[in-house]
Structure 1
Amino acid sequence: MTELRIQADPRPLILVTVGTDHHPFDRLIDWIDAYAEQHPGIRVLVQHGATRAPSIAEGIAFLEREWLDSAMRRATAVVTHGGPATITEVRRHGRLPISVARDPELGEHVDDHQLRFVARLDEAGMIRSCASSQQLWATLDKALKQPDDFVLGETEGERPDVVRRAGSLIDLLVTAERGPVDRPLPPPAEHTEMPDVTVVVPTRDRPELLRRTLRAIAVQDYPGRIVTLVVYDHDEPDHSLAEDGGDRPVRVVTNTHSPGLAGARNTGVLAAETDLVAFCDDDDTWLPSKLRRQVEVLLAEPETEIVCCGIRVAYEATEADRILERTTITFADLLRSRLTELHPSTFVIRRDAMVHGCGTVSEEIPGSYGEDYELLLRLARRAAIRNVPEVGVRVLWHPRSHFTGRWQTISTALRWLLTEYPEFRLVRAGYARVAGQIAFAEAAAGRRRAALAWAAATLRARPREPRAYLALAVACGVSPNAVLRALHLRGKGV
């Protein structure tokens, strides 16, 4: 009957939902009652949960899922508390949420995470936040006069909802002061049988470095079988590298996907016949125990889909260890920081997590720049990334690196990343980091006006972001290569 009343009533509908939290939210009920009294021609329906029922608006403690869905689709405006799940549902039904966050100082919640979460979403344009009765009433008036402004566009309704993805940030917002949650790795254990692993090695015009990489894979102290797939991209394959038989076979194949690093990786992943797949770039070398320790973690934790490890950065005559002491990394952590220690040559992944899970390496990223980071973001949405805090790979930084000097490709790819992951707007440090990288790339490419615009955007998000100042220095004539060399000598990059 409620379903029929919702659909049949011709009056504009304002739906208010306060969720199921046991804390009272009388403040919002009072604001809504006052609005309903002044607008008798508007139907105001309140799902009030454990809070007292409204005296003027219609009230129902709990709405069954199908009725709530129908009301959201029918409503001209939907008012919510600041809970991520409720906001997600409203956006999923194509409505821009009007949110009033619960305030712990008024006894409406246990902490202030709703206040901070709603503030971030409002800043990102994902909701309309109201902190006073006057602000709420004015927003409702606008929704009734200009309802199209509170309906999400067709593109937003069809793609995976931004707020559903952003909901994973709630842990970051709540626990920021306490620091990230970590958990220890399982202790090393003896296994009578270790699974086969396929190592995908994309390569292009680096035969000497490639042979060194293959030798390091062959001498792993891993007791299981390691199949190496050398994927040639934009290069004539060297079939003399192929080795048959034994527990360290090498196969040589040609990239059958889109040209570039992403297509080459996918060629190898899809050709693999093992449950576990590892990546190694053709200019990097594995340390002997690298693979064994990571696979031990995967065997002990069936829910884990990817394990990384630390790196040793080699540049000119210097070497610097980059070890992430964390053992557990979340999606929110990766939005906040790239965590360079999680290098693609350290990845050991369950193949099924990519092929039948989050998808293979993105071939849409311009020039394949940052494809490893984007893959980490998608994997981290599914399950936490695990990391062995030990150096397992020697990573070579050198002038023949594929992206050296490709500043326009780098800028375009990073702008693609910000478009594809609007959640960056919820994490100022993460947004500033990427925007600062774009500013630096634009400056290095000689596009001074674009560099200044991106540097300004960086500083608005985070005034202390050093990449903005590096970009400004390059825009004023400092050599980008000199800046990069100074950073690389310290084992760092832009």
Structure 2
Amino acid sequence: MTDRRADSGAALTDPADVRPLVLVAVGTDHHPFTRLIDWADTYAADRPEVRVLVQHGATPAPATAEGVGLIDRDRLGAAMRAAAAVVSHGGPATISEARAAGHLPIAVARDPELGEHVDDHQIRFVARLDSARMVRACSSYQQFAATVDKALAQPADFRVVEEPGEGPEAVALRAGRLIDLLIGTARADRPGPAAPPPGDPDPSAWPEVTVVVPTRDRPDLLRRTLDHIAAQDYPGTVRTLVVYDQEEPDPALERADAARPVGVLRNTGRPGLAGARNTGVLAARSDLVAFCDDDDTWLPGKLRAQVEVMRAEPGTELVCCGIRVVYGRREAERVLDRTRVEFADLLRSRLTELHPSTFLLRRAALVEGAGGVNEEIPGSYAEDYELLLRMARRAPVRNVPAAHVRVLWHARSHFGGRWQTISAALRWLLTAYPEFRLVPRGFARVAGQIAFAEAAAGRRAAALEWAVAALRAHPGEARAYLAAAVGCGLPAGAVLRALHRRGRGL
């Protein structure tokens, strides 16, 4: 890897190198964009037949791809014209330069939750450009690699004809016109309600949805969650009920907006997630109810995609979708590649992709059918999984195979380190659902989780007992071996961090 600075005068193109050039430009913002640099490095390592050149700015230089810190505008334009594909961060100027050079840019927005920017304006900006077919947006490495591959294999699909004009003034005008796409749809400090695309039916034709958001002691994360719910491109009314668990409600959050009203109330059920969710469900007056945790966020098309399933299939009672797991500076996409999930599927696997923040339910299925969220589970742990099992007993769960929810895994997660509660809840689950005994792999999975929790809590004898039970049911159950390692002194936190970095849980 060679690091060439802008004032070095070195050429960025090499006539002797006949490999196709992929140019990755992260701009000059002082926030590091390590995620995109890592993607470029991985791509370069996997495809040595492609030359990857990264303008990395304030981010440390790539290890495998070629790198240059800063590039002046003239040489950047020349490099873009010579490139087979251009990858840009979400800055208007860089995107405008790429389009002026004839490229449909592959855009990766900087994410403030990963420390890549001060706010989420790039996420909203790139989403608007992507919907207008002015960029190809990418949010995971898999999507990034597939899109770059496609740009190299089908270059005609990634070429544009931009109006002529050189110099800083022309660049500024082009960037300004791109920024104009945001006018009227969002403020700089928060996502705003997106206008429905042309041709949508009257908003009154779309059913009202009530979103239940349980919360406790996370006001900053909660406000971010509410902003993203309000930013749904769903044509109908989205009413949010914030349910405060074991603390006083904040009336300042209430909004009287006709399309996106917000109400606050106190948990009147048993303390915990289950009681808070039930409080919201009982207070709702709409036919459809959605769940969202106070530290997660919805992407704009989430509700529309799920409600379309409900409208087309009146017998469907629960619709889920895929997620993007955010852990530290890493993000991993978890999408289930099927549209139907049966009870037997959920016995075999938890299917983490079916996260509670993705749930859209028919209220009657809870209040008059399967019953509410179970408040008897110790600590409300795994109440979402138990509800999935109960709903799937009645009818198949439907799934939208696309990531529409961003799930934040972090140190302030409610169950972090509550190992005895986790163990008690999982043992309750095995008792409540004896069917697990008929599915050895599924029983082994839960028993392995119990073994790990007992080991992390320092109860070695109980951990050994459950680990042995797991291995008897399924000798390949990895959680049992991890539990043994934790029982021998390996820190449980180190195991979880390693899993979370890969978008995986226990």
Which band: TM-score by shorter chain? 0.5 to 0.7
Q: Which residue of 2 aligns with 1:305?
A: 317
**Structure-1 separation of matches of 2:256 and 2:403:** 30
Partner of 1:460: 472
Paired residue secondary structure (1:352): helix
2:14 maps to what in 1?
none
Is 1:420 aligned to 2:432, yes or no? yes
Distance 2:486 2:480 in 1: 10
Q: Secondary structure at the match of 2:319?
A: strand
Residue 285 in 1 paired to residue 297 in 2?
yes
Question: Which runs of structure 1 show a deviation greater than 6 angstroms over 4 or more consecutive aligned residues?
Answer: none
Where do 5+ consecutive residues of structure 1 fail to align?
Answer: 1-188
Question: Partners in 1 of 2:276 and 2:494 — Cα distance?
Answer: 32
User: Residue 235 of structure 1: CA displacement?
Assistant: 1.5
2:500 is aligned to: 488
Q: Distance in 2 between matches of 1:371 and 1:244?
A: 32
Q: Distance in 1 between matches of 2:494 and 2:257?
A: 48
Separation of aligned partners in 1, 2:257 and 2:419: 44
**5+ residue gaps, structure 2:** 1-198
Report the residue type matching 1:239 in the other structure.
P
Distance 1:475 1:234 in 2: 34
Indicate the percent of aligned positions where both proteins have the same amino acid: 72
Which residue pairs with 1:386 in the alignment? 398
TM normalised by structure 2 equals: 0.60
TM-score (norm 1): 0.61
| Deviation by residue 1:6-53 (Cα, 9 ceiling, x = unmatched) | xxxxxxxxxxxxxxxxxxxxxxxxxxxxxxxxxxxxxxxxxxxxxxxx
**Separation in structure 2 between the aligned mates of residue 434 and residue 281 of structure 1, nearest angstrom:** 24
Partner amino acid, structure 2, of 1:457: A
Q: What amino acid sits opposite 2:252 in the alignment?
A: S
Match of 2:369 among 338, 352, 357: 357
Contact 2:319 2:360 (8 Å CA) reproduced? yes
- Asked if the contact 2:200/2:235 (under 8 Å) is kept, the reply is no
2:484 & 2:303 partners in 1: Cα distance? 42
Deviation at 1:236, TM superposition (A): 1.8
Aligned with 2:453 (options 417, 430, 441) = 441
Pairing partner for 2:225 from 213, 219, 222? 213
SS at match of 2:405: strand
1:203 to 212, 215, 219: 215
Q: How many residue pairs align between the two structures? A: 306
Tell me the C-alpha RMSD between the 2 structures.
0.9
- The amino acid of 1:461's aligned partner reads A
- In the alignment, the residues of structure 2 paired with residue 219 and residue 317 of structure 1 have an alpha-carbon distance, to the nearest angstrom, of 24
Aligned mates of 1:326, 1:426 — CA distance in 2: 24
Q: 1:273 aligns with which of 274, 277, 285?
A: 285
CA distance in 2 between partners of 1:485 and 1:190 (Å): 44
> 232-241 or 270-279: which moved more?
232-241
Equivalent position of 1:253 in the other structure: 265
State the partner residue of 1:146.
none
SS in 1 for 2:369: helix
Distance 2:441 2:254 in 1: 46
The CA distance in 2 between the partners of 1:470 and 1:250, in whole Å, is 44
* Partner Cα separation in structure 1 for residue 320 and residue 368 of structure 2: 21
- The offset of 1:190, in angstroms, is 5.9
- Residues 362-392 of structure 1, C-alpha deviations (whole Å, 9 max, x = no match): 0000000000000000100110000000011
Residue 245 of structure 1, CA deviation? 3.5
Query: Structure 1's 393 and 305: CA in aligned 2 closer, same or farther, altered over 3 A?
Result: same
Structure 2 residue aligned with 1:404? 416
Is the contact between residue 451 and residue 480 of structure 2 (CA under 8 Å) also seen in structure 1? yes
Tell me, in whole angstroms, the C-alpha distance in 2 between the residues paired with 1:475 and 1:431.
Answer: 21
Shift of the alpha carbon at 1:428? 0.5
Contact kept in structure 1, 2:243 and 2:279, CA below 8 Å:
yes
Deviation at 1:356, TM superposition (A): 0.3
Residues 210, 241 of structure 2: 8 Å contact kept: yes
